[in-house]
């Protein structure tokens, strides 16, 4: 069947698909610092305060000061990221159009609140919308935990409700996961073998967030699932992973074989923090909470097949296997398209709010 004859994806339907090695078509190229030259409010003060000016902040994660930095600015990789387009099996996605995205946003402001992985999403979206009529409607608020910090671990930002009160956005995108582990404070911060994931506590945290969203911002909150973490064992020999994580897959983060079935090209003990294997569990909990409350979901499941595009995957020193390269052709750009779909779904069903 010709792809043009396929219907556009319904919520979550896009998660079953594959990355095809072909150039990504964008209206214009951008660099990772595009947000510094725009009218965005919210992200500039937080970003510059914590990271320093983007253009003046190259990162050398190789451990060798004689080597060129892996990134120019935060996470704009100097090495080429594989050109690829996400193609769902049974439906199709809209081609990116900043004009059409602004139309779907319909002059509503949108707050993206979360940790550094959400900060990456915000930066990608802001760069893609740079120079458009709606660029000033995108806001970022840093929040590692959204509500309560893990025991003994400080929140670097503010609660999501603090950001809502400050900016009074029309729509809100939320996500939390990478910091949702206990015993991460003090000398244990960089010792993942001591970190502990409490599924019951995470579920209770999300229940509070989703219930609050339903009560205070009904129909105006979107949940983004986690950005996949991990570096392939052989990043140069293996490009994109072949596994397609099913939403209802039988997955056990405590079982080595189950982990390898979900992350087929990972060495859990060497090349990835063990926390990354719990991200699918977090996503399962979040989807259940979203189904219970009717909150819309931006499902980032395709990123599990692009571990090759992490900053640490482009070096034999995998210091950062969580953050994706933010280049124009990087996989984070897919999230811009998926957010567009969430907005369009709500409009098609006669609502001014996101689709469930």
Flag whether 25 is in a domain.
Answer: no
Question: Which residue has tokens 């078509």?
Answer: 25
Assigned domain for 16 exists: no
DSSP state of 37: G
- Could you give the CA distance from residue 173 to residue 195 in angstroms, rounded to a whole number? 27
pLDDT at 61 over 60: no
CB 330 within 8 A of CB 74: no
Spatial distance between the Cα atoms of 235 and 315, rounded to a whole number of angstroms: 8
Q: Is the pLDDT of residue 328 over 90?
A: no
Question: Which helix or strand (DSSP H or E) is residue 289 part of?
Answer: helix 279-293
Residue 130 lies in a domain: yes
Mean pLDDT of the chain: 77
Q: What is the pLDDT of residues 137-180, one digit of tens each?
A: 988 888 999 997 655 566 778 899 999 999 999 999 999 998 88
- The pLDDT score that the predictor gives to residue 2 is 62
Q: Which of 234, 248, 356 is nearest to 301 (CA)?
A: 248
0.95 exceeded by pTM: no
Ordered strands of the 296-298 beta sheet = 138-142, 110-114, 171-174, 221-224, 296-298
Q: Assess contact for 352 and 346: CB atoms under 8 A.
A: yes
Q: Is there a domain that residue 52 lies in?
A: no
Whether residue 67 is contained in a domain is answered as no
Mean pLDDT of 200-214: 94
- Predicted confidence at residue 225, as pLDDT, reads 96
**Number of domains the chain is built from:** 1
Q: Is residue 304 part of a domain?
A: yes
Range of the domain at 181: 96-348
Q: How confident is the model at residue 309 (pLDDT cuts 50, 70, 90)?
A: confident
Residue 42 counted as domain residue:
no
Q: Which pLDDT belongs to residue 324?
A: 87
- CATH number, domain at 234? 3.40.50.1110
CA neighbor of 220 nearest in space, from 163, 138, 295: 295
Residues 6+ apart with CB under 8 A from 287: 225, 247, 297, 299
């Amino acid at each position: 069947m010709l792809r043009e004859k396929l219907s556009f994806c319904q919520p979550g339907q896009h998660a079953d698909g594959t990355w095809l090695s072909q150039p990504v078509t964008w209206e214009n190229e951008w660099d990772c610092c595009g947000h510094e030259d725009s009218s965005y409010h919210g992200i500039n003060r937080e970003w510059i305060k914590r990271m320093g000016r983007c253009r003046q902040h190259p990162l050398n994660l190789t451990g060798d000061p004689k080597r060129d930095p892996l990134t120019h600015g935060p996470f704009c990789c100097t090495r080429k990221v594989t050109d690829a387009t996400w193609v769902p099996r049974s439906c199709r996605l809209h081609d990116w159009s900043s004009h059409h995205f602004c139309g779907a946003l319909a002059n509503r402001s949108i707050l993206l609140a979360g940790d550094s992985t959400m900060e990456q999403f915000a930066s990608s979206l802001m760069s893609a919308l740079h120079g458009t009529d709606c660029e000033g409607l995108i806001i970022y608020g840093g929040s590692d935990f959204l509500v309560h910090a893990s025991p003994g671990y400080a929140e670097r930002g503010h609660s999501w409700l603090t950001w809502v009160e400050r900016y009074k956005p029309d729509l809100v995108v939320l996500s939390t996961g990478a910091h949702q582990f206990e015993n991460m404070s003090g000398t244990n911060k960089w010792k993942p073998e001591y970190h502990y994931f409490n599924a019951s506590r995470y579920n209770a945290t999300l229940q509070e967030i989703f219930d609050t969203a339903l009560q205070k911002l009904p129909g105006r909150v979107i949940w983004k699932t986690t950005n996949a973490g991990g570096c392939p064992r052989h990043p140069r020999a293996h490009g994109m992973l072949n596994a397609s994580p099913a939403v209802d897959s039988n997955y056990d983060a405590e079982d080595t074989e189950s982990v390898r079935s979900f992350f087929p090209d990972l060495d859990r003990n060497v090349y990835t923090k063990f926390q990354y294997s719990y991200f699918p569990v977090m996503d399962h909990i979040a989807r259940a909470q979203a189904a219970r409350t009717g909150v819309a979901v931006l499902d980032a499941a395709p990123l599990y097949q692009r571990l090759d595009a992490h900053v640490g995957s482009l070096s034999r020193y995998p210091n950062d296997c969580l953050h994706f390269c933010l280049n124009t052709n990087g996989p984070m750009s897919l999230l811009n398209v998926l957010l567009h779909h969430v907005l369009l779904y709500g409009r098609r069903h006669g609502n001014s709010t996101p689709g469930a």
